[in-house]
Structure 1
Amino acid sequence: MQSLHTTSFRKPSDPVVHDIFDKATGSWQYVAVDPISSRAVIIDPVLNFDPVTAKFWTESADRILAIVNENGYKVDMILETHVHADHITAASYLQHTLGRNEGIQVPICIGSRIKAIQKLFGEKYNIPPEEYEGAFDKKWDDDEVFKIGMLTAQAIHLPGHTPDHMGYKIGDDVFVGDSVFYMDIGSARADFPGGSAQSVFDSCHKLFSLPDHTRIWSGHDYPPTGRDEPRSCTTVRQQKEENKHLIIGTSKESFVQQRRQRDETLAAPRLMHQSLQMNIRAGRLPEETKSGERMLVIPLRTDMSW
């Protein structure tokens, strides 16, 4: 599923947005484009992975490339909102493919706090530091401003789901990753290492302080019963008036209690271990072992003894 958003109320300072849904992981991927120069960024791309066969394929990322190629866009950078725990990033694949096709090195970008996340999970999974240090080409400082063609963009720190989480504001559009979802889903979980329900609340209210017409593009959707299709875009006003967790008047104390109770019922993401090991490497494969294999490790439950 994909769509193109070029509605009449957009200004020259706003991007054209293509949203591409990956059904297997419930993930939204984006291509945001300066309509004047056709310069573009790719946001949170997905690499397909089957944990049973341990095979990768590139269907979702190739849909992004098709949009880029069909429209003659020139990709300036690949933006990651955070180290995802529920899908593997296609950033490295896209960087390699775009480099091969266009002869350029498209930088992979993420928030500056990624170093602490890489160290945490590098040690957890016993990954040599040289496999993830330097994996990202650009690390944004909070509120750092950059250009996409003629458009002005800004990296906005939105901690809570993870401590390194960044959003990207481009004109009147803000790509928020796993901060806030469609109104009938609510907010993102906050039970990962370094996560904080209080920070989720604060980050969402940072977003809600933007003008009511600002468009919010979420990183996921999981349509509940009664809603037929995934939704990528809402407005600040819609979120403030309808979000099931964050409707106007909800106190931080009430939100935190509700968020923690909800998180206690959630299972770990299906691809968590594979995703974290790949994503701290910006989607690069592990180095080969002495036997010539590339390995991802899966922790075992040790509540049994014999």
Structure 2
Amino acid sequence: MTLTLALILDALLGEPRWLWSRLPHPAVLMGRAVGWCDARLNRGNARRLKGVAALALLVAGAALLGSALAALGPVVEVIVTAILLAQRSLVQHVAAVASGLRAGLLQGRAAVAMIVSRDTATMDESAVARSAIESAAENLSDGVIAPAFWFAVGGLPGLLIYKITSTADSMVGYRTPRHERFGWAAARFDDLLNLVPARLTALLIALPTGLLRTLPAIRRDARLHRSPNAGWPEAAMARALGVALAGPRAYDGKPRDFPWVNTDGRRPLMASDIDAAIRVLWLAWAVALALCVGLAIA
């Protein structure tokens, strides 16, 4: 029942600005912890081993903090869990891209730049919409389903372990000269923790959109993705909307020729396709909520 209430609370309230303008968000605190480890340990020799040690330290701290918070009772559990879910904020950020596109291409680019790391300065309307839809699918998994899954498995300690790992991966899990060795452990552990949730997210998208029969095609498309996990929700979203996702894009001025996901899908996209993706987000959320209610009753 805790997870059910947390899902509802997050969907209703999202990220209250009045609160987080006065207090540091838990994600900010986690970022500071990862940054501290990066600044002090990511130097000298044996950086991979130091990265493993840093991740172990972060995970242990998250588990201890989660246990301490859980001991304060169910009300605290509900509030903390709701804070660490991101359904409403995800919808708001994705919807802002649709609103931006309707106002003009420059506004659409500015809005999508807030949620993706790829180059946005030369994007056309389709590329902006495609980027927003991909972000919606991937973050449904990373920001909603995976945290909920790990809370269901391990309570607040499980949820906080997932979130600190995800934060570490987003900060140091890149194949750059500085982080390729130090961030190896965070990237690999994040892949492991998302293995089940990413596939569960694809199923939650497929169920309410009548795509269960296409699961083999979704699995095939997911394997084309550069990520072992992100391809699953993206492939399911692409099929749900009848569009092609992924494909060529640029990072830091360097073109990357990624394969298309759902290659036969429609490629010219617009703001209305983002609206359709948001409807799918809520459908998947509703199925997840129903599953939580069913488990609570059982």
- Shared fold by TM > 0.5? no
Report the TM-score, using the length of structure 1 for normalisation. 0.26
Larger relative contact order (Cα-Cα within 8 Å, sequence gap ≥ 6) = 2
Report the TM-score, using the length of structure 2 for normalisation. 0.26
Q: Structure 1 or 2: larger strand share?
A: 1
